[in-house]
């Protein structure tokens, strides 16, 4: 029986129903306490057709990268194998995998027929000598082979941790080139791991802070196309955008969708004063939620749509507040030393991620929704703009380096503060927004 | 144009045009004619945008996380107002900017405060509000790129950008 305790300082991670359904001998308990990554083996998948021989290897590699990339798993290299998997249907010889201490074994096959690829896989708990869950198969266009690999990895992750995965997801972000005083920005979308980058706008005007819709089909962002910042909604599939309604002489920015996908919460500045409003995407009807001379911005809905977390300098410095979704009295969340901004509600509902400035440094942190158990996950010259992985376990953010040559890059970190790693992008990157899991 | 250059130019102007009232560069009407022949449209043509940008001063600077106007900022804005009142065919967009030490959204809002502070001052000096738009760039358009206070101080600014005539 394998038990691997992984640290999670904040919160019970697995709901009772999930854990009951998923309890098996091979299990990573993502919980307080550490922390040896679980050793696994993913031999090349078995090609079930000649045309699939390359893909069979590549799919297995992506599965391995996904799992290793979490920091929760460690791959046993193929050079250590004492046997090979030549037949996906044949029984596994557990002893061959025990001797190399592969606690989990993932086998699979890949078959190309026409323009489609079919991937089958099985997960084994080596030391229990049993399969973990049933074998599964995915079929889809061959061009989408990476997505199928991510789906395999999501299933493995989910079976072993008891939590939802996050590999079959995308990130929309601002791709950046050029020096600080001539920076060119354009919207880009990519797989969560940096693969398949596509550009959604050109760099002729500034674009900022894209945000996914709850179903991942649209993106809100702030653009300067007219010379003044305003909010656009972009249909990803058709790469078509339109500006949301805006009154002359005002400026709008910091949009995010409500969980219903029909309402946008955003900041509107009029006469130098910035407050929070909601707007119906379809009708353009707006509703003002705050009316204070202070700066109210960076709003983010709770997953149930009932509350909004935002930042305000009404106390004199930037701090975090939560108010009802229709506006009304707000309660202050952050009381620590320093300034708090860009709050984002976790998709699980339990935590708020934020950017903190303190003593000349920037941090990405998380706290509970009552403001307790603040925990800083990163520290650098300039970290900002957290976004949650679909399972609420990982945060992606932007890190800008110091000085005249400074550039911005995307990073991810676990909510334990472990596994800080750069996200591969072709150029610089900022303002990431993580999609929900794809269907 | 770098701020240093601008300061040098302002200094030069003060030196040659001793007849303007001391320290106040807003005096219009060709007091600097003694500096040489006026080339229309050039920086020594008091009706030119170049004169506005370089001699009057198109920008004012702000303290960290502040949008209040210093005495120096008010002096420059006073001169801007005089120029705009004299050259009524121009409108302006006032840009608000912040340094990089802040989160993106907050800096947009802070830049808007700065631009608005400059706009309100110009209006208080008689410039019609219809001639003055504002926009905030937050920390998106720094002019100086080092990560030190010497650069930050130049980046925390509002810039009055003339638009060529009311009809444009």
Going from the N-terminus, what domains does chain B have, and what CATH number goes with each?
3-163 (3.30.1330.60)
Q: What is the C-alpha to C-alpha distance for residues A48 and A314, in angstroms, rounded to an integer? A: 64
Q: Structure pTM? A: 0.88
This model of the complex carries an ipTM of 0.91
For residue A239, the model assigns a pLDDT of 85
Instruction: Express each pLDDT in B122-162 by its tens digit.
Output: 999 999 999 999 999 999 999 999 999 999 999 999 999 99
Question: Is residue A297 within 8 angstroms of chain B, CB to CB?
Answer: yes
**What mean pLDDT comes out for the span B60-89?**
98
pLDDT along chain A (439 residues), means of 10: 31 29 54 74 96 96 97 96 94 96 97 95 96 94 96 97 96 97 97 97 96 97 96 94 92 98 98 98 96 98 98 97 97 95 97 97 97 97 98 97 96 95 97 95
Question: Is residue B123 within 8 angstroms of chain A, CB to CB?
Answer: no
Question: Is residue A267 within 8 angstroms of chain B, CB to CB?
Answer: yes
Which domains are seen in chain A, by residue range?
38-161 (3.40.50.10070), 170-434 (2.120.10.30)
Question: Is residue A398 within 8 angstroms of chain B, CB to CB?
Answer: no
For A298, which of B101, B105, B113 is closest by C-beta distance?
A: B105
Q: How many CA atoms lie within 13 A of A366 on its CB side?
A: 26
pLDDT for B6 beyond 60? no
Chain B residues touching residue A253 (CB < 8 angstroms): 105, 108
- Cα-Cα-Cα-Cα dihedral sign, residues A119, A125, A131, A132: negative
Q: What is the C-alpha to C-alpha distance for residues A76 and A68, in angstroms, rounded to an integer? A: 10
A382 with B140: Cβ contact below 8 A? no
B113 with A272: Cβ contact below 8 A? yes
B106 with A382: Cβ contact below 8 A? no
Rounded to the nearest 10 degrees, the angle between the axes of helix B71-86 and helix B104-124 is 60
SS3 A79: helix
Instruction: Express each pLDDT in B40-52 by its tens digit.
Output: 888 889 999 999 9
- The 10 Å CB-count burial string (b at 16+, else e) for A283-295 is eeebeebbeeebb
SS3 labels along A178-246: CCHHHCEEEEEEEECCCCCCEECCCCCCCEEEEEECCCCCEEEEEECCCCCCEEEEEECCCCEEEECCC
DSSP B117: H
For A355, which of B103, B108, B116 is closest by C-beta distance?
A: B103
Q: What is the C-alpha to C-alpha distance for residues A339 and B102, in angstroms, rounded to an integer? A: 9
User: pLDDT class for B11, splitting at 50, 70, 90?
Assistant: very low
B145 with A318: Cβ contact below 8 A? no
Question: For residue A243, what are the contacts with CB-CB under 8 A and spacing of at least 6?
Answer: A223, A225, A226, A230, A231, A232
Long-range contacts of A287-293 (CB under 8 A, 24+ apart): A287/A326, A287/A327, A288/A327, A289/A265, A289/A323, A289/A326, A289/A327, A290/A323, A290/A327, A290/A330
pLDDT for B13 beyond 60? no
Q: What is the C-alpha to C-alpha distance for residues A120 and A134, in angstroms, rounded to an integer? A: 11
B140 with A403: Cβ contact below 8 A? no
Instruction: Express each pLDDT in A46-74 by its tens digit.
Output: 999 999 999 999 999 999 999 999 999 99
Chain A residues touching residue B145 (CB < 8 angstroms): 179-181, 404, 406
The phi, psi pair for A330, rounded to 5°, reads -105, 145
A274 with B144: Cβ contact below 8 A? no
With contact defined as beta carbons under 8 Å apart, do B97 and B156 qualify? yes
Q: What is the C-alpha to C-alpha distance for residues A102 and A98, in angstroms, rounded to an integer? A: 6
Question: Is residue B118 within 8 angstroms of chain A, CB to CB?
Answer: no
Average pLDDT, chain B: 83
DSSP A67: H
For residue B41, the model assigns a pLDDT of 82
């Amino acid at each position: 029986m394998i038990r691997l305790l992984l640290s999670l300082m904040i919160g019970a991670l697995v709901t009772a129903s999930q854990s009951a359904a998923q309890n098996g001998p091979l299990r990573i308990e993502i919980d307080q306490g550490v922390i040896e990554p679980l050793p696994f083996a993913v031999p090349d998948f078995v090609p079930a057709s000649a045309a699939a021989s390359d893909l069979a290897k590549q799919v297995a590699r992506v599965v391995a990268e996904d799992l290793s990339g979490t920091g929760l798993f460690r791959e046993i290299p193929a050079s250590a194998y004492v046997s090979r998997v030549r037949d996906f249907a044949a029984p596994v010889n557990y002893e061959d995998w025990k001797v190399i201490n592969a606690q989990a074994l993932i086998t699979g096959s890949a078959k190309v027929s026409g323009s489609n690829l079919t991937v089958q896989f099985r997960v084994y708990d080596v030391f229990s000598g049993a399969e973990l869950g049933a074998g599964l198969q995915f079929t889809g266009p061959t061009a989408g082979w990476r997505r199928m690999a991510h789906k395999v990895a999501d299933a493995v992750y989910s079976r072993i941790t008891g939590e939802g995965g996050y590999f079959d997801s995308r990130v929309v972000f601002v791709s950046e080139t050029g020096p600080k005083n001539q920076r060119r920005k354009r919207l880009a979308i990519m797989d969560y791991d940096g693969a398949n980058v596509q550009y959604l706008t050109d760099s002729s005007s500034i674009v900022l802070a894209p945000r996914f819709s709850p179903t991942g089909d649209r993106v809100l962002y702030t653009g300067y196309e007219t010379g003044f910042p305003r909010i656009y909604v972009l249909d990803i599939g058709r790469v078509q955008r339109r500006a949301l309604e805006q009154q002359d002489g005002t400026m709008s920015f910091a949009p995010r969708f409500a969980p219903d996908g029909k309402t946008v919460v955003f900041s509107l500045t009029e006469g130098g004063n910035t407050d929070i409003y909601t707007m119906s995407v379809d009708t353009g009807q707006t509703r003002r939620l705050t009316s204070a001379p202070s700066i109210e911005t960076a709003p983010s809905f709770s997953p149930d749509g009932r509350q909004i977390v935002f930042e305000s300098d009404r106390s004199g410095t930037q701090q975090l507040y939560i108010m009802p979704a229709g506006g009304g009295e707000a309660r202050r969340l952050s009381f620590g030393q320093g300034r708090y901004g860009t709050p984002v509600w976790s998709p699980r509902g339990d935590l708020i991620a934020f950017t903190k400035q303190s003593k000349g440094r920037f941090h990405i942190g998380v706290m509970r929704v009552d403001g307790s158990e603040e925990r800083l996950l990163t520290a650098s010259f300039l970290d900002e703009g957290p976004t949650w992985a679909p399972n609420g376990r990982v945060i992606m953010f932007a890190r800008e380096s110091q000085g005249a040559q400074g550039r911005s890059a995307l990073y991810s970190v676990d909510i334990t503060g472990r596994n800080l790693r750069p996200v591969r992008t072709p150029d610089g990157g900022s303002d990431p927004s993580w999609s929900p899991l794809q269907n | 144009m770098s701020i240093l250059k601008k300061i040098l130019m302002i200094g030069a102007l003060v030196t040659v045009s001793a007849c303007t009232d001391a320290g106040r560069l807003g005096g219009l009407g060709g007091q600097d004619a003694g500096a040489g022949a006026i080339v229309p449209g050039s920086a020594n043509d008091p009706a030119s945008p170049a004169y506005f940008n370089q001699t009057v001063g198109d920008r004012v600077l702000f303290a960290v996380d502040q949008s209040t106007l210093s005495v120096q900022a008010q002096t420059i804005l006073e001169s801007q107002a005089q120029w705009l009142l004299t050259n009524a065919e121009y409108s302006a967009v006032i840009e608000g900017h912040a340094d990089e030490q802040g989160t993106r959204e907050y800096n947009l809002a802070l830049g808007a405060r700065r631009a608005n502070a400059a706009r309100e001052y110009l209006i208080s000096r008689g410039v019609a509000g219809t001639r003055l738009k504002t926009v905030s760039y937050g920390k998106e358009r720094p002019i100086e790129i080092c990560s030190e206070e010497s650069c930050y101080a130049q980046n925390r600014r509002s810039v009055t950008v003339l638009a060529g005539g009311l009809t444009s």
